[in-house]
Every structure is written in structure tokens, then in C-alpha cells.
Structure 1
Amino acid sequence: MNGLYALGGGALGVSIHHGLFIHGEWHVQAPTIFLGHLLAFSLLHVFLDSGISLCIITNYLFCLLSSIIIYRVFFHPLRHFPGPLSARLTKLWHVWKARDSRNHRVLEDLRLQYGDFVRTGPNELTIFHPDIFMAIDGPKSTCVKAEWYDLLYPKLSLVTSRVKETHAARRRQWNRGFTSKSLEQYITKILPYITQLEHRIDADIHHQHISNITDLFYWFGFDTMGDFVFNKSFDMLHRNEWHFVVVLLRRAMSILGPLSPVPWFVQIAFKLFPRVWILGDWFRMVAWCEGQMRERMKLPEDKTLIPDVAHYLLASAKSDPSQNLPWLTGDSILAIVAGSEPTATTLIGIFCELARSPYHAERIYQELETVDICDPRALAKECPYLEAVIAEALRMYPALPTGGNRKTCEEVVIAGRRVPGGVTLVAPRWSIFRREDCFDRADEFIPERWYGHPEMVRNKAAYAPFGTGHHSCVGRFLAMDDMRLVTARLVKKYHLSLPAGETGEDVLGDMRDQFTATPGRLRVMFRVRDNSPSTS
């Protein structure tokens, strides 16, 4: 009799795997599946003899896992691609490898070992070839965003929208806030924060302190984005300290480093343990953003004020703002993260290199002598070396080192290799931006490759810091304006150098890959230039 029960449990395990789990996506249902299994196992213990229930459960799990392993190793469409055996079996190996949030290093090691196409998960392919960018986001691409983008579910946002039609409609709403006219208006919002940034640096000079440029640039990024999204700043530059919500946000983002490879586990953690450990920080941050958006919705529109991004989003949702609250909350969270952290990351990279090699700063300074340093359009047009420095920093310090996964909806051909439909694709910018066959002396910071020596860029397809096509960063022009203005203002006013005994290597050496990059600490010594004009 026990053998019959064992056979039934085993058959059920195999049937569930082949009848359900290998078809479609199940990560969002992972909490329900987990709880359903616990309930079923408990009921078996209640209504059947403990020996019989244990026999059924054991054989069910054994056959389910055996079926999964056999399929993934011998029959999966990706079985012909090279990669670690453990990666074929489960993404949990990736969680362990990326436990210190250095996924960019993990993937680069795999590239060196296996080549341009590496199976990094049961249903995941990491492609290091530069053709991957156009394949996943080009105008002819049929790929969609992968499961990771259900992170905010059931909250919604432009960044996490996985349905192309939905994303396109939301993108049109966002585009209203990033017209040429809107960008020109935003400049008047940015300039006071750059002045506050200068005040912080001046205070460090006065007290003979070395400036913690990492904190300053993050404060600048979050303060400006708070103003853009909620029409009020986090006020960190003014108060000279971190805002508690930004601290919560950065702590919550830290879990994305090791857990990004397993979106199903993130769903279980968020749904079943929402107040445990760092997860509580995430939900407190989400609640704060929702509260701020509710307050913003109540404000009457003042036509004398410069519109913020929320102005355009609320205008699209004015027929029923409350029904659109999940969109508005999700967009506010992602706008603050996507708008502040990448800008801060690139600015940290720029000033690390300028402090390492003052030659770069002096070349920019020479360009600025006859340019209005408060006009980003003039800077873009008349300061080619400044543009080259920013472009090279975007390459060497990518804000999105390995994130941005896509999923094939049908078979695609990338660099001559056929990739099946239904497969998650990873395009690690960190590695692709450092390919020697795409960039001469790829590991060196050489702005001249973008200005004067174009032959040093061997394959332009390998450079996509803001993404490609309709999935490119909606705020890329604003981010570029931020970086132009900050770099020009600080280089115009200050000499800068690294403190004695510091090399700046910690910026990349200690960088964490937490979907967005979190660079290591950078400290810079500033000295006011002779006859420097006051911008206070």
C-alpha cells in the first residue's frame, strides 16, 4: 500500500513539473505556490497516517526535483550553451556567488572562462557580444522585459512595465515632462542645488576638511530628484546629512544585489515577510513615497512655479488620480532611484578621474573660459572635451552594470547564434564596455577616444550607457545636463586632487552591483582657483 502512495506522490511531482512549471512564468505566484504546498502537506498529516503522508510528500518532492534537474541538464533548449553545471540546475548558485553584491565581477569571470555566450541560469543566457543591445532593445526587437521587472508588483511604473503597449502609453505621458521647453525650465531648478554643493565644498575648505564627494553627489542627486518628483527637496545638501527615507531606500536597494537573480524568492520575501529585516525598510520607503504623492495630488496647480515631473503625470491622471495612485507611487519611487543614483555614480567617476589626472580638469577649464557655465546647451556645443570626459565616465562607471534583463518572445539570432524563445537575456554593460576588441586600451580612462581619436572606438555598438530605442532612459538628457553643469561649475571654481596616500581605486574596487551601481568612497581635496568668479 505504501508503494502505491509513493508511486502516486512521485507521479504527481512529475506531472506538476511537466504540466505546469515548465510552461509560462510562475515567479509572481511563488508566494501562493509556497503556501499552497505547506497547506497541502499539513492536510496530508492531518487526514492520513504520518508514515503514509511522509511517504507521499517525500516521493513527491524527490520526483519533482529529479524531473526539474533532468530536464534542465539534458532537455532544456539552452542545454548546448556553455556555463557552470550549478547554473543549469538553479539560480540559487548565483545568489551565493553574488552574495557580496559584485555580480559584475561574477559575470566577467564567467566571460573569461566560457566566452561570449554563457548559460547563467536554468532559463537564462548572458551574452557579452555588443550585438546584444540592438537585439534586445532595437527597433526590430520582439523582446520584453524579464521577470525581474515585476519587483514592484502590484505597484506599477514606467520602468517596470513589461507589456510593450502599456509601456509605450506610459512613456508618452512621461515624454511630456521631458520636452526641450521642460528641460530648459528644469535648469533653473538645478542651479540652486549646484550652489548648495559649492557651499558644502567651501565649508570643507574653510575647515580644512577633505570633501566626501560620494556623499555630496548622492545628496545632490536625491535633492534634485525630490524637487523634480515631489516639488520639494530632501534638503540633504542644506542640512549636511542624509534624509532618513533615502537611508531606508539605499538599505532596501542593497538586497537587490544578491537577490536580483531570483525574482521568485523576492516575491516570496516581499509578500510573506514584509516587515522582516531590510524588507521593512523597503515598505516604509514605499509608504513614504505614496504619502508624498498623495500630498502632491492635493496641491493646487500654481502656474507661477516651474512644473515638476508629477505635474505632467497628474495631468494625465486627472480624470481619476486615486485610481492611478499605484502608477504614480511606482513612478515616483523609480524616478527618484533611476534619476539620482545613476547621475551620482557618473559624477563620482568623473571626479575620481579628474582628481587622479588634473590634466583632464585643466583641459576642461580651458574650454570654459568663454562659455556660459550655467547653460548646458552651450556646454554641449562648445566644450567637446567636457563631453568626451562624461562619455568616457559613462563607459568606465556604468550606472547599470549588469541589470536590464530582457526575455525573448520568439527565436532570435544574435551574432550568428540562435537563441530560443522564452529565454531571459542578460547584457552586462560592465563587461561589454571593457571589451578590447571594441575599445582600444579598454581598461584605461581615455576621453580622447570620443574626441580626436575615434579609431580608439572599434565598435560603437558596444556603447549604450542609456539603453537603446524605446527602452532608453527617459531622463537621459536631464542627466547629461546635470553632469555638464556640475562638472563645469566645479572645475571652473576649484583645483582638485586626491588626498595623500589615496589613489581613487576604491571607487571601482569597492563598487557594489545592486541593480544600479553603488561606487566605493571617494574623497577629494578642493582648492579655490585664483580669481574664481563667485556663484553664490
Structure 2
Amino acid sequence: MEAMDFYYANQQAILTAVGALSGIIAHNAVYIRGEWHVQAPQITIQLFALYVGCPVLAQTLKDTAVAGFLQGVIFWSYGYLPGLIASILLYRVFFHPLTRAGFRGPWYARCTKIWHMWAARGSKNHHVLNDIHKKYGSFVRTGPAEITVFHPDVFMAVDGPRSECVKSEWYDILHPGQALVTARNKSVHAIRRREWNSGFTTKALAEHEAKILKYVDKLDQCIEQDAKLQKVTNMRDLLLWFGFDIMGDFVFSKSFGMLENQQWHHIIVRLQRALSLLGPFSSVPWLIQVGFNLAPRVSVLKDWFDTVAWCQSQMRDRLENGSSSQSQDLSYYLMEKDSEGHGFSENEKWHWAAGDSLLAIVAGSEPTAVALIAVFCELGKHPEHAEKIHEEVKNVDVTDLKTLVNLPHLNAVMKESLRLHPALLTGGNRKTTEFGLTIGDQFIPPNTTIVAPRYTIGRLESCFEKASEFVPERWTTRPEMVRNAAAYAPFGTGHHSCLGKTLALDTMKYVLARILKNYRFRAAPGDDSLSALETVKDQFTSNPGTLKLQFERRHATD
């Protein structure tokens, strides 16, 4: 009996040792190569079957030959996962190219990105990275295969015309769906971007800007109504309604009607909730894939999928029933305008358009609204700049873009606000290819994710004098305060720059010129600190806090 027990114990030990060896081999032969985040749901299912399914099945089929086999698999599994994890950790901590290159950073960042998800809870990733920069310098290891770069040359290095970097794993967020913003393959992205370009020609922009003025009128009417009643204006809500209304018209020729109804559209409420997922979970794209594919679709996950489905239904409705507008919308340029030679079939174009409709609503609406919220917040803190802009606009036609483009202080205030409060605080990660990348004098090894936090880089004292202060004159009469203009990249660089940059800047000019010509404003009682920007959340795009202002109509003699 003792001999039999010894035999089984020895057999169990051998199976466990073989399992551990299998885990080490699996890591070094398979998992160490390529990307596995998209396969994370399948791997999770396999591990669940191995560690939960096998024991349950073995117990159900006990005293059978199958149960004996399953028992062997269970003993093997006792070694497999520990062996796999140990091999991964040993490699990351001691043998990874980033370790050999001597990059500094939190010791636990070598092991996993889970720490980052925890640290960024509450969507404060921009503060997390800013604090890391203060402690570790310009090149910091913030993950097993990730370097966060706080250097002004990073934008041109990762997105410039000579860069070979690709978009990071985060951009597979819509997998298996596609969208221009999430396209990781450079040639595919270039083809799709050419189709988008047709929607941003001079003629197309003129049509879009004519629509914008209609919504500027509605925004003005909402503010005027509050001013007459001496009522506090929730500027955050108004500007987000304004941005989403414009983008609905721009994409589908169908406004969300929020400015007109002065209430949130149900799908935008759900979209706002869904985007909270992108705060803490952006640092762990594999966990996003697991959640989207395996977690029950309840709460914010349900909001995400319902929003995606709604955008797809709106695109389908738009294509089936046509546009009610006399001018052309983005759907026309992406789906209806002849795009022969661009390389997509009608079915492929539909799948792209379905993804693009969601990304256009998010990427087109929020950044412009957030940028305007930032400007109003800064002008509320520095009213002398509001008065300077008023002096520029009080005797001009604020619907004439050619005039607005040439107003120096208006444009300087916008530029300074975008420097301090970029819509993309930390997002937009890139990944080096097998050739690696040099930024400044620092070589970044191959297959390394590069994070370039605009929030911190735009506030580097080495690049801007009085970097944390709001000084619009640095862009006009005090150019010496800009020490390195490469640090200013709120709309991205090169082929990955924001297509809607011109449209966004024009929209901001129209709004600011109209409102500052007609109104004075100050912080509403109880919000003297104008804390909207202090409570901003980093959810890939930024999500500011409440901004309440008190408007007063100017007299004709002002």
C-alpha cells in the first residue's frame, strides 16, 4: 500500500514538474513572440476549462478511465500556470530588453500593467504619469514592454513622416470592427484616410461650417435666455450638447436636438457612461478584450454595446433613406461619393462606416467641446483676456472666418488653452517595430509601446517659460517664452494628425467670437475656483467637470 502511495505521489510530482516545464516552454516558444491581447478571451476560456472544468468533470466521472486521465491533467495544470507565470516574471524583471537597457521606473511596472489600472482609477491617468515624470525623469518604464516618454521630440519621432511606429494594442478596441482611428495597419489606414479626406476639402468644410453657424445661433439663444433671467448657465452641458448636435448633423445629417430641447439625448448619456471604461482600463488592452467578449453586458458594458448598435442603426437608416439636408454629410463622402480605386468593397465600406460613425461622434464632439470648456474656464480665471478678445471682435463680423483667423489674441488664447488642456491627455500610444526608435539620444528597443503624455509635455519648463501658467502672449508678443515648439502637438502629427483640426479650430473661433462679443461672464456663485479642469477625467479623450458661469449681456456702447 505504501509502495502504491509512493508511486502515485511520485507520478503526481512528475506530472506537476512536466506542467511547470510546459509553462516555461509555452512562454519562451509562443507567448514571448507577437501580440496576444486579442486572444485573451480565448486564453481565459481555456484556463477556466483547465482549472475549473476539469476538476468538476473529473468529480462527475469519478472511478472511470476518463476521470483518471482528467486527474492527470489536473496534476499537470498544478505546474503549468505557475511555471508560465514564473517564466514571464523572470523574463520581464531580469532579461527583458528594457531591463538590459537600464530604463528606470517603479519596480512593479516591470511585472505587470495591473498596477497602472489601479493607480489610474477615477480616470486620473494624466496625474499618475505627471507624478512619475517628476520622480523618474524623461524616459520611464511604466510597463513590462512600455516606455513613457516626456520629451518634446517624441511626437515627431513616433508620428513623423519617417517614423515606422505603428499604433499600439489599445487600438484594437473595436476588434473585429474597424474604424479610421483604430486602423493599425499603415497601408489600410492610408487608404481609408484618403476617403475621409474627401469630407474635409475646402468645399466640404464650407458646407460644414455653414451648419456650425446654425448651432452657434442656438447656443447664443440658450445663453441669452439664461442671461435675461439672471440664471446660472451650466456651460459644460451646453458646450457638450453643442458639440454632439453638430457632429450628429455632420455625420448623419441628423442633430441630437439637445440644444433645442435643452436636455441630454439618451444615447449620449449612455455613451458618456460607457467612455468611463476607457479611464482605468486603457492601460490593460487585454483586459478590455476579456471584458467586451466574456463579461455580461450589463451596466457600462451594456451602454457601450448599445451605443455601438445605435450608431450602426443610424448609419444604416441614413444610407437607406438618404439625407434630408441640402448639403453633404460625412456619410455621403464615405459611402455615397464615388471612391473607385480606394480598395474597399461595398460590404467592407459598410463595416468601416459603422465603426467610423461611432468614432466620429466621440472624437469629433468631445474634443471641441472640451477645448471650449477649457477656454471659458481660463477666461473666467483671467477676465482681462476676455476683454482683449472683446476689443478685437466688437466691430467685426463674427460669422466671417477670414476675419476671425487674423485676430491675434483670440487665436493665442485658443492655442494657450490647448497647450495646457489638450483633449487627448495621455492617449495615442504607439509601438516600435523590429528596428526600434531613437528619441533625442535615447534608443527605444523593438516592440516597445511608447506613451507620450501631452498633458505633461505641454507643461515642461524646458519647453515653455512659466509652463504651468496661462500666458497667451507667448504665442504673440512674447515668443521667447516658447523654448521648444515641438512640445505643442494638441492635434497630433503627420499622417495620424486629427483630420478635423481645421473644423474644430473654426468652430472654436465662431463660438468664442460670438459669445465674447455679446456677453460678459464670471464664475457662478459657489464655483469661484472654476474647478472644471481640476476635476477633469482622462478617458482617452478628456471629460471635464461642471463649469457654471453667470452671463451678462453687453450694451451696444460696451
Structure-2 residue corresponding to 1:16: 26
Match of 2:470 in 1: 445
In the alignment, does 2:83 pair up with 1:63? yes
CA distance in 2, matches of 1:276, 1:532: 57
Q: Partner of 1:428 in structure 2?
A: 453
Deviations 1:366-422 (A, max 9, x none): 1113422012232012x0110000001101111000000000012111110111111
Query: Runs of 5+ in structure 2 lacking a partner?
Result: 1-10, 59-65
2:408 alignment counterpart: 384
Task: Say whether the 8 Å CA contact 1:2–1:52 is kept in structure 2.
Answer: yes
Distance 1:341 1:397 in 2: 13
Cα offset for 1:274? 5.0
Indicate the residue corresponding to 1:367 in structure 2: 392
* Amino acid paired to 1:412: L
CA 1:504–1:195: 2 relative to 1, 3 Å: farther
Q: Distance in 2 between matches of 1:385 and 1:401?
A: 24
- Equivalent residue for 1:156? 178
- Secondary structure of the residue that 1:464 maps to in structure 2? coil
1:448-467 matches, within 5 Å, as 448-467=473-492
Structure 1 residue 310 displacement after superposition? 1.0
Q: Which amino acid aligns with 2:85?
A: L
1:506 aligns with 2:531: yes
- Could you tell which deviates more after superposition, 371-380 or 98-107? 371-380
Secondary structure of the corresponding residue to residue 324 of structure 1: helix
Distance in structure 1 (CA, Å) of the matches to 2:334 and 2:20? 53
Contact 1:155 1:327 in 2 (8 A): yes
Q: 2:219 aligned with 1:194, yes or no?
A: no
Query: Does the alignment pair 1:491 with 2:528?
Result: no
Q: Is the 8 A contact 1:492 1:532 kept in 2?
A: no
Amino acid of the structure 1 residue aligned with 2:218: Q
Unaligned runs of 5+ in 1: none
The residue type paired with residue 408 of structure 2 is P
The answer (yes or no) to whether the contact 1:177–1:309 under 8 Å persists in 2 is yes
Question: What CA deviation, in whole Å up to 9, does each residue of 1:436-466 have, x standing for no partner?
Answer: 1101111111100011111000000100010
Structure 1 residue 393 corresponds to structure 2 residue 417:
yes
Between stretches 468-477 and 187-196, larger displacement belongs to 187-196
Instruction: Give how far 1:517 is off.
Output: 0.5
AA aligned opposite 2:401 = P
1:81, distance to aligned residue in structure 2 (A): 0.6
Q: Contact conserved, 2:381 with 2:530, CA < 8 A, in 1?
A: no
Aligned 1:137-536 pairs, distance under 5 A = 137-300=159-322, 305-314=326-335, 315-316=337-338, 321-381=346-406, 383-409=407-433, 410-531=435-556
Provide the aligned C-alpha RMSD in A. 1.7
Q: 1:532 to 1:16 in 2, by over 3 A?
A: farther
8 A contact 1:214–1:521 mirrored in 2: yes
TM-score by length of 2: 0.92
Could you tell me how far apart the structure 2 residues matched to 1:437 and 1:503 are? 31
Change (3 A) 1:316 1:401: farther
Q: Can you list the C-alpha shifts for 1:179-231, whole angstroms capped at 9, x where unaligned?
A: 11111111110011111111111221233211000000000000000000010
Q: How far apart are 1:52 and its partner, in Å?
A: 4.4
CA contact (8 A) 2:50 2:77 kept: no
> Partners of 2:221 and 2:95 in 1: how far apart?
63
> Residue 497 of structure 1: SS of its match in structure 2?
strand
Distance 1:82 1:369 in 2: 54
Indicate which of 148, 169, 172 corresponds to 1:126: 148
| Equivalent AA in structure 1 for residue 16 of structure 2 | A
Aligned length: 531
Q: Indicate the percent of aligned positions where both proteins have the same amino acid.
A: 49
SS at structure 2 position matched to 1:209 = coil
Counterpart residue type for residue 404 of structure 1: G
- Contact 2:521–2:552 (CA under 8 A) maintained in structure 1: yes
In the alignment, residue 75 of structure 2 is paired with which amino acid?
C
Q: Give the deviation of 1:300 after TM superposition.
A: 3.8
Cα deviations across residues 59-93 of structure 1 (Å, max 9, x unaligned)? Answer: 11111111011000000011121111111101100
Structure 2 residue aligned with 1:34, among 41, 44, 49? Answer: 44
Give the deviation of 1:8 after TM superposition: 1.1
CA distance in 2, matches of 1:11, 1:76: 20
TM-score normalised over the length of structure 1: 0.96
**Matched letter for residue 210 of structure 2:** T
**Alpha-carbon separation, structure 2, partners of 1:89 and 1:292:** 44
* Shift, 1:43, TM fit: 3.9
- Offset from partner CA, 1:105-156 (integer Å, 9 cap, x none): 0000100110001110111110001111011001110001000000011111
Give 1:503 shift: 3.2
Aligned partners of 1:124 and 1:183: how far apart in 2?
A: 39
Structure with higher Rg: it is: 2
Determine helix, strand or coil for the equivalent of 1:506. Answer: coil
Q: In structure 2, what is the Cα distance between the partners aligned to 1:504 and 1:387?
A: 25
Report the AA paired with residue 463 of structure 2.
Answer: C
Determine if contact 1:317/1:324 at 8 Å carries over to the other structure. no
Q: Pick which of 169-178 and 363-372 moved more.
A: 363-372
Q: Label 1:499 to 1:182 Cα distance change in 2 as closer, same or farther (>3 A).
A: same
Q: Tell me, yes or no, if the aligned pair for 2:195 and 2:339 is still in contact at 8 Å.
A: no
SS at match of 1:260: helix
Matched residue SS, 2:405: helix
1:298 deviates by 1.0
